[in-house]
Structure 1
Amino acid sequence: MAAHIIVAGGGIGGLATALALSRQGHSIDLLEQAPAFAEIGAGVQLGPNATRRLLALGLGKPLAAIAAKPDALTVRSADSNAVLARMQLGSAVEHRYRAPYYSVHRADLHALLLKAVRAQKKVALSTGARIVEARRDDDFVCVASANAHAWEGDALVGADGLWSTVRQQVIEADTPPHATGHMAWRAIIAQQALPAAMRCNGVEVWLGPKLHAVAYPVRGGRLLNVVVIAESTSTGDVRDWDQAGSLAALQSATGRSGAGLQKLLEAMPAWRTWALSDRPPLKNADQMASGRIALLGDAAHPMLPYLAQGAGMAIEDAVALAEALGGVDAAGVPQAFARYAAARWQRNARVQARAHRNGTIFHATGPVRLGRDVAMRVLGALLLDQPWLYAG
């Protein structure tokens, strides 16, 4: 028993969906609006909840080959560089949650998934396929692209990101994403280009007033990924995830941090930037599926990067969707999509809400910041560990 499913979006979520569904025997049309399958950005943290699912998709060996395995998560003051809290990762997390904690280059993860999808005979890949219209009735769905191509299938999955076109078919009177007032700067550098004292084998986090920074290794530890998020107004296209940035613009938004973090920021060869936009947490299952159309990843529930779970939740969605469609034919798609949405919406909403809360805590000022730092020093790993998330 199988169905013909159209997947809109060729990013990490869309590729994971195509792979998981094709392994269940479904035939897939995977549509990517860009002229080629590619990924922008740099680092991605993959908690055990995400890697466990990637391992289940048969990607264990190739994933280990591209990943770094951070040894610890360390939180510091952006002003003094003093350690506020620390949690062991590495083998400790892998033993506790039955899956590793990895950090990877986004392009490497995307390429790994794309190679696995291309090896599936039931997946047809199309590029330059920007969807401009989607129609459905009780028995089928049909989508048309800007280049005048059309596809018909038993179901449509919207994995087309924050500015999803497919989402409009699921949520009536939907509103566009809203600006958060936060900007992100990212940079990447070869570890060998840094002084030994600045090289990083773990996940390092710095917390400061209205900002935080994260650094961690990718590409087997050879590169260091650095991200700074600060409260700043965007002057560019809010839909552009890859704008040119600079250290001067970053410092204008954040001021100069303490010497430890400042030296790292000054060592970066170049900066890219983007504005963070968001939606409220999911309210019910109806916001993830309707009839023969389902949403996943950022199309359903964009994740602010304060819990490092954007890719993780999209991967979880992909596997859950495939599980719901296991053994299902075309007639059973609407019921399977309803099961998928019912199983996923509350967990996704919880992660969204926790990411919002973390953003407030990370960027705290005044007495709240002092209280946060005291709590971290006292409770340490108890505050950093996330059993409800990583074991899920």
Structure 2
Amino acid sequence: MNRNVLIAGGGIAGMAAGFAAARAGWRATVFERAHAFSEVGAGVQLGPNVTRILQAWGLGDALKQVAAFPAGLRARSMNTGEVLATFPLKDAVSNYGAPYVTLHRADLHGLLLQAAAREGVQVHSDSVVQRVHQTPDSVMFDVMQHGQLQHHHGPAAVAADGVWSPLRQQLLGDGLPVFTGHIAYRALVAQADLPLHLRSQDVLVWMGSQAHVVSYPVRGGDYLNVVCLAEGRLLDDDANDLQALQTWNAQKSEAQTLVELHHALRGACAPLTDLMAACSDWRLWPLCGRPAMQGSHQHAQGRVALVGDAAHPMLPYLAQGAGMAIEDAAELALQLDHATAEDVSERLQQFAQARWQRNARVQARAVRNGQIFHATGPMRLGRDMGLRLMGARLMDVPWLYGYDRN
């Protein structure tokens, strides 16, 4: 049997899918549109539901080399600085059997890329998958590789080409993602460049009204990833500009960025304003999304599976975007492990049935968290009081962190 799986997209979702498929005995070929992988300054949080998978894949030691292991999460009031609640992330190992880690997105991608290379995964850069064709027996990708149109065949394929997935548009025809009205401002700062009182090895979440700030250590704790998420004020002139919405690493002038941050964080306490002032080189990421998944058809069509943001873009308010992509890859490998050329479509339907409801639940919970983090008026007062009274019980998510398909 020809056990070649074609994968559109070489980001975290695509590399995880390629690596997992290769471990299941498939020859994985990844097509990435970029000329080279870039090191964008963004952080990633991985809960024990995800690190459990990486450990099972034999990547636990590699993860330790690049990740930070925060002891706790502290929720604070953006305006007063009060610590509203704490959650002991260090207990993830005893509670769920795997750690909670934070790391640089490029380090996670590099870890997966190296692991995939060891498994023989072929990665082609400057390769744009333009179209997918299916017959009852096979799949074909039309790929523009280095300016030349090439055709690649196999019994199975994966669309891991991101939130703006062209393959999703071809397969599902359900329109483009929608701008949520939320923008993420991202910065990365060396801890050594910060005064002692601003350095942190914990996850900090500063909650306000229509905005919040999260910071956590990356690169073994040497750097601090800082993200301000604010609503509605930031792309008023560009909200209908598709190119602007598709840019997740944009940069504005420093003066304009500072004005926007000052507006989003008006009334913030001194420790938070000090932290924001210590950061520079802010990058913008307009958050675009889709409604929560409605059915298994959004995860697989015939011999093509959709994974990661191509299937279920996640708002960052549950810190599970990368995690769900890795969970997708693990489930895909479970189904491909015993697949034959004849039953690939059935196996991918089983993959879709196993994944769509969980991903829909995570999508919905992320939206709900965003509403809580950005609550105004009486809802904000209720949020703060609830955190004071219930603390860790509100922040623990057993159904999320305890998930283990094995």
Class of the TM-score when normalised by the shorter of the 2 chains? over 0.9
Q: Distance in 2 between matches of 1:285 and 1:302?
A: 15
Unmatched 5+ stretches in structure 1: none
2:128 is matched with which residue? Answer: 130
Give 1:106 deviation, angstroms.
0.5
Partner SS for 2:317: coil
- Equivalences for residues 299-314 of structure 1 within 5 A: 299-314=310-325
Give distance in 2, aligned partners of 1:23 and 1:57: 8
- Separation in 2, partners of 1:317, 1:285: 13
Residues 72-104 of structure 1 show CA distances to partners (whole Å, capped at 9, x for unaligned) of: 0000000001011101112x1111000000000
Q: Aligned-pair distance for 1:2? A: 6.3
Question: Is contact 2:47-2:100 (8 Å) kept?
Answer: yes
Instruction: Return the alpha-carbon distance in structure 2 between the equivalents of residues 308 and 323 of structure 1.
Output: 24
Report how far residue 327 of structure 1 moved: 1.8
Matched residue type, 2:339: V
Deviation for aligned residue 1:41: 3.8
Q: Does the aligned pair in 1 maintain the 2:32–2:126 contact within 8 Å?
A: yes
Distance 1:228 1:183 in 2: 8
Aligned 8 A contact 1:170 1:294 in 2: no
Q: Write the deviation string for residues 124-164 of structure 1: whole angstroms up to 9, x where unpaired.
A: 21111111121111111111123312211111100110000
CA-to-aligned-CA distance 1:253-302 (integer Å, 9 cap, x gap): 44352212111000002211111111000011111101101100000000
1:84-233 alignment runs, 5 A limit? 84-90=84-90, 92-121=91-120, 123-146=121-144, 147=147, 148-171=149-172, 173-231=173-231, 232-233=233-234
Distance 1:314 1:104 in 2: 16
Residue number in structure 2 paired with 1:83: 83
Give the gaps of 5 or more residues in structure 2.
239-243
Return the alpha-carbon distance in structure 2 between the equivalents of residues 239 and 198 of structure 1.
33
| SS of residue paired to 1:243 | coil
Q: What are the superposed Cα offsets for residues 287-344 of structure 1, whole Å, 9 maximum, x if unpaired?
A: 1101101100000000000000000000000000000111212212101100000000
What is the identity, as a one-letter code, of the residue corresponding to 1:114? L
Task: Report SS of the residue matched to 1:10.
Answer: coil
Cα-to-partner distance string for 1:212-234 (whole Å, 9 max, x where unaligned)? 10000000000000000001231
Query: C-alpha separation between the residues in 2 aligned to 1:213 and 1:93?
Result: 23
Indicate the larger mover: 94-103 or 128-137.
128-137
Query: AA paired with 1:241?
Result: W
Is 2:384 the partner of 1:386? no
SS in 2 for 1:115: helix
| Pairwise CA distance, 1:37 | 3.0
Distance, in Å, in 2 between the alignment partners of 1:47 and 1:177 is 26
Separation of aligned partners in 1, 2:258 and 2:59: 37
Q: Provide the residue aligned with 1:239 in structure 2.
A: 246
Q: Within 2, Cα distance between the matches of 1:391 and 1:39?
A: 31
Q: How does 1:325-344 map to 2 (within 5 A)?
A: 325-344=336-355
Task: Report the equivalent of 1:350.
Answer: 361
CA contact (8 A) 2:2 2:155 kept: no
* Matched residue, 1:319: 330
The equivalent residue for 2:8 is 8
Question: SS where residue 330 of structure 1 aligns?
Answer: coil
What corresponds to 2:241 in structure 1? Answer: none
Q: In the aligned structure 1, how far is the partner of 2:189 from the partner of 2:160?
A: 30
Normalised to the residue count of structure 2, the TM-score between the two structures is 0.94
Cα distance in 2, alignment partners of residues 277 and 37 from structure 1: 22
Matches within 5 A, 1:252-291: 252-291=263-302
Higher mean alpha-carbon deviation, 95-104 vs 251-260, is at 251-260
Answer yes or no: is the 8 Å Cα contact 1:139–1:331 preserved in 2: yes
> Which residue number in structure 2 is paired with residue 61 of structure 1?
61
Tell me which amino acid in the other structure corresponds to 2:347: A
Contact 1:80/1:260 (<8 A) preserved:
no
Contact 1:170 1:288 in 2 (8 A): no
Sequence identity (%): 48
Once superposed, what is the RMSD of the aligned Cα atoms?
1.2
Shift of 1:252: 3.3
* 2:187–2:283 contact (8 Å) kept in structure 1: yes
Distance 1:39 1:346 in 2: 33
Counterpart position of 1:74: 74
**Counterpart in 1 of 2:44?**
44
2-structure distance, mates of 1:369, 1:166: 41
**One-letter amino acid of the structure 2 residue matched with residue 128 of structure 1:** D
TM-score, normalised by the number of residues in structure 1 = 0.97
CA distance in 1, matches of 2:15, 2:48: 19
Contact 2:9 2:30 (C-alpha < 8 Å) held by counterparts = yes
Aligned residues: 389
Deviation at 1:166, TM superposition (A): 1.4
